Amino acid sequence: MGGIVLLGWLFNLPALKSILPIWVTMKANTAIAFILAGCSLWNLHRSPRSTVTITRIFAGLVLTIGGLTLIQYNFGINLGIDQLLFQEPRNAVGTFAPGRMAANTAFNFVLVGTALLLLTRSRPFYVVVQLLSLTSFFIALLGFLGYLYNIQEFYGFGSYTKMAVHTATAFIILGIGIIFLHPQRGLMAVITSQQAGGIMARRLVLAVIGIPPILSGLILLGYRAKLYNSEVGLSLSAIFSIIVFVVLIWMNARALERIDSRRQQAEEQSQIDAIAAARAATHLTVVVDHLADGLLVTDPAGQITRFNPALVKMFGLQNTSLIGHPCRMLFPPEIAALIEQAMTQSKERFTAEVALANHRVGQAVTTNIIREANQSQATEWLGSVTLIRDITAEKEIDQMKTEFISTVSHELRTPLTSVLGFAAIIQEKLEIITPVIPTDDRKTQRYLNQIEKNINIIVSEAERLTSLINDVLDVAKMEAGKVEWHMQLLSMAAVVERAIASTSALVESKGLLLHSVVAPDLPKVFGDSDRLIQVMINLISNAIKFTEHGSITCEVTSQREHLLVQVIDTGIGIHPKDQPQVFDKFKQVGDTLTDKPKGTGLGLPICKQIIEHHGGSIWVESETGKGSRFCFTLPIYTAPNQLRTNMDALVKQLKAHVVTTTPDLIPRTKTILVVDDDQNIRELLRQELEAEGYDVQEASNGMDALAQVKTTKPDLIILDVMMPQINGFDVAAVLKNNPHTTDIPIIVLSIIENKGQGYRIGIDRYLTKPINREELMQDIGLLLSQGSSSKKVLVVDNNVSTLRILSEVLQSQGFNVVEASDSQECIEKALSTKPDMIIVDSVFSQQHNLIRTLRFEKGLENLFFIFLADQEHLTSRSPDSIEE
């Protein structure tokens, strides 16, 4: 407004200076002061600290203009500031001195300038500022009402310059602006409060300010119209004021009553909610305290914030408060690890088995507690909650189930052995008699063909049942931790090559293409070669089963700390809902009611357990109709200076040496004692052994076997384990501890796999049913060719760890091991024990005294050496082949 009036002075526009010709003009100094006051108030509203000095200067100028004008009025002097910028006629309306603002205007500028200066302080006096602004506001309001009522005394005093109407309006606006600059401070704090007082004040203040001027104006109009005299007008003003304020008071009282009623209702509802919350909390506490599962709640620092009695009982803790204690100090490390996992991965659940008190087992499930993000705050992690369930009974039941399945599977091996064995004998007999049967009779020929076909079906189905039993037993052994692992350094390229060779015929029969993509120079891994080949064959076989056309690809790549192996097919794929179950036992994808199951449902679970035992992970990626990708990882072997001997190759070389020492002519008059409580197994073995030219004796139990050995010493014994009266292990122990029978070779042929116990007793071979005829006959020939079951091996190595591992492996395979750590000890023990062969570190092979000493000793002329070259490659040679 000050700027508009200043333009009126600049361009001499009367309408901008006085609005109406009969009204007083706003002086130029007044317009300038308003501009300065407005800029000062704007800077205070923005609150930048850099403009405080400018704000103070502007406020000081406003105060100076008002103060100097008042000095001129009080002392009757002219300081020359009134017409400093613009000239005004001496006969201007309502003007005491040309260009001089009204005295009440000057006083208001003093009040406003002081208020603005006080607001620039670091700690303003808000009450004083607002009182000064209110005083200015009401002086201006009085002047405005003077113009409204046409009462000159309201906006001027005597002959002094009168306040212009737009000056009064500007002061009203400026006063309101200063008052509301800090509405939560000073006098305004009550007005803006959300309490009952603030609500009532806001309802009354506008009525108090607005209604009295309106009533006064109406009464004044009636008086000027001579409707009544001044006494009546004054009385009417009092009566109407009373009526208006009574109405206002009643309206505010009713509003306050409603507010108070709502407050009481809110308080009552709050009490009801508090009682309900307390009951819910009590109910929750009762539920938590009576949970059979243990409950553990921790804060972000890992300190306990809540627990229940079941948790205390599970871990055998003292029944005291655990609140505030770090869970890491009280519970197994697995729980702390779960909580740390929950911290890093939100919205995930983590499980682990934990040890409880009294040798019990629990399963812990942990998830985190978070406050979801909203518009006002980000996501906040509040801690974690862990539930621990005692699964000891479930583990025992699962163990019983596993043992039951294992027992049933073992028991199935005995009749299956008879089925496969006798079927094989029938096949052999048919091959013999078929050529001599006249083929003129078509009916006879048709019968022979049908019999041959039926026998082939029996053998095929029996072999499929054997595979199923082996899978079940593999799962049972893995769950029981009884699998024998032959860990060694190996190449995954060789594993993939052997797996592809084993499945190539099946691939060709379906008309598929099988590709191998193996990265060059792959690092080696440490694992069980046979088990990893089993995994690859299972994955490739699965791909073949579910691929009708297209190709199968085996890929092996190196990725930092592990190898990635992938088997990719173009088959039917796996539906997303079935993918989480593909590694579950006995689970098969698809609808088993309409689709014939293609397998036992144990292949993939076995693969998963084998890979996890190797420290890797296995998963599937698939799209329905677009094929599947089975992937697994294996850690790369990086540990230095450890034994890298290929144990399987070592054992094979030892057995191969036995073959090389086999005489050219093996006598066929050897006597073999068959010990088995199943008559069908004895009959089967009798027929197969007699067909090879052996004499066969039978014993139906262990006591009978021991009695027969005393009277007639057999050349070899085939021994069952599970027999009445005395088991096969006890029979073997008796025979091996008797000097007269210790040299009799013993082959255990059993439905159970417990090679470790058998080899510790001293048995020579451990085979499982169903019988592999070729393997059995080969082992019988090898053992009978030795003349005794003594296989003494001298192991020489200066590395204690290598020496221990070699000894354990050889002893587990039935060899009698003698150890030596240097060349001198090797010579002494070779001369005293007369071993059949020596396994020696290649370092000692360069010591000529060792070779020269041994090669000329009596009884060691044909001594066989196996050298471990660089702890990785195996070489073998006789003494004659070593150059001095």
Q: Report the pLDDT value the prediction gives residue 445, as an integer from 0 to 100.
A: 73
Same domain membership, residue 122 and residue 72: yes
Confirm if 5 and 16 have CB atoms less than 8 A apart: yes
Same domain, 199 and 257: yes
- Is 664 part of any domain? no
- The winner for highest mean pLDDT among 45-54, 387-396, 579-588 is 387-396
Judge whether 655 lies within some domain: no
799 in a domain, yes or no? yes
Q: What's the CATH code of the domain at 412?
A: 1.10.287
Distance CA 173, CA 171 (A): 5
pLDDT tens digits along 742-766: 888 999 988 777 777 787 787 888 8
Is the per-residue pLDDT at 817 higher than 80?
no
Considering the domain architecture, whether residues 200 and 243 belong to the same structural domain is answered as yes
Least confident residue range of 487-496, 612-621, 645-654, 812-821 = 645-654
**Contact criterion met (CB below 8 Å) for 405 and 472:** yes
> What proportion of the chain, given as a percentage, has pLDDT over 90?
18
Spatial contact of 458 and 419, defined as CB atoms under 8 Å apart: yes
The percent of residues in the chain predicted with pLDDT above 70, rounded, is 83
Residue 198 token pair: 């603030």
DSSP code, position 504? H
pLDDT of residue 863 exceeding 80, the answer is no
Give the C-alpha separation, 872 to 205, whole Å.
100
Structure letter (DSSP) for residue 79:
-
Q: Which residues does residue 569 pair with via DSSP β-bridges, in sequence order?
A: 552
For 270-274, 538-542, 635-639, 868-872, which range has the lowest pLDDT when averaged over its residues? 868-872
Domain assignment present for 318: yes
Q: Please tell me whether residues 826 and 848 are part of one structural domain.
A: yes
In this structure, are residues 99 and 32 in contact, taking their beta carbons and an 8 Å threshold?
no
Here the tokens at position 73 are 């009025």
Q: Which of 390, 425, 445 corresponds to the end of one domain? A: 390
Does residue 169 share a domain with residue 33? yes
CATH number for 737:
3.40.50.2300
**Beta carbons within 8 Å of 76's beta carbon, 6+ residues apart:** none
Most confidently predicted of 38-47, 96-105, 805-814, 867-876? 96-105
pLDDT at 319: 63
Note down the domain range covering 278: 193-283
H or E stretch at 568: strand 562-569
Asked if the structure places residue 646 within a domain, the reply is no
Q: How many Cβ atoms are within 10 Å of 343's Cβ, its own excluded?
A: 15
By DSSP bridging, strand 671-675 and strand 294-298 are unpaired
Backbone angles phi, psi at 489, to 5 degrees: -70, 135
Where residue 824 falls among pLDDT bands split at 50, 70, 90?
Answer: confident
Higher-confidence position of 591 and 231: 231
- CA-angle at 166, arms to 163 and 170, nearest 5°: 100
- As a whole number, mean pLDDT of residues 693-699 equals 92
State phi, psi for 200 to the nearest 5 degrees: -65, -40
Both 335 and 312 in one domain: the answer is yes
Please report the pLDDT score of residue 876 as a whole number: 41
Contact 458, 421 (CB under 8 A): no
pLDDT at 109: 93
This prediction's pTM: 0.48
Residue 445 exposure: Cα atoms within 13 Å on the Cβ side: 6
Q: Other CB atoms closer than 10 Å to residue 106's CB: what's the count? A: 25
- Judge if 401 and 467 occupy the same domain: yes
Task: Please name the amino acid found at residue 23.
Answer: W
Q: What is the pLDDT of residue 845?
A: 54
- In a domain, residue 663? The reply is no
CA distance 132 to 29: 21
Q: Which of 283, 300, 322 is the last residue of a domain?
A: 283
Identity at 551, one-letter amino acid code: S
Could you tell me which residue, 835 or 875, shows the higher pLDDT?
835
552-566 pLDDT tens trace? 999 999 988 899 999
Question: Number of folded domains in the chain?
Answer: 7
Residue 649 belongs to a domain: no
Q: What does the block give as tokens for 768? A: 């499982």
Q: What is the mean pLDDT of residues 90-94?
A: 82
| 48/137 same-domain check | yes
The per-residue pLDDT for range 158-176, each reduced to its tens digit, is 778 889 998 999 999 999 9
**Strand-pair category, 873-877 with 618-623:** unpaired
Residue type, 4: I
- Asked whether residue 661 is assigned to any structural domain, the reply reads no
Structure tokens at 809: 């492996």
State the DSSP string of 166-183: HHHHHHHHHHHHHHTTST
782 and 867 in a common domain: no
Q: Is residue 237 within 8 Å of 170, Cβ to Cβ?
A: no
**Whether 103 and 58 share a structural domain:** yes
Amino acid, res. 870: D
Whether residues 591 and 450 share a domain: the answer is no
Residue 326: DSSP 8-state? B
- Residue 593 pLDDT: 36
Residue the block writes with tokens 């190759």: 649
**169 and 241 assigned to the same domain:** no
C-beta atoms surrounding 90 within 10 Å: 7
Q: Which residues have C-beta within 8 Å of that of residue 277, sequence separation ≥ 6?
A: none
Is the pLDDT confidence value at 640 over 60? no
pLDDT of residue 30: 92
| pLDDT in the model for residue 838 | 81
Tell me what the pLDDT averaged over the chain comes to.
81
Say how many residues make up the chain: 884
Q: What is the pLDDT of residues 327-351, one digit of tens each?
A: 888 888 888 888 888 777 666 778 8
> Of 390, 421, 448, which residue is a domain's last?
390
pLDDT at 247: 86
Model pLDDT for residues 206-218, shown as the tens digit of each residue: 878 888 888 888 8
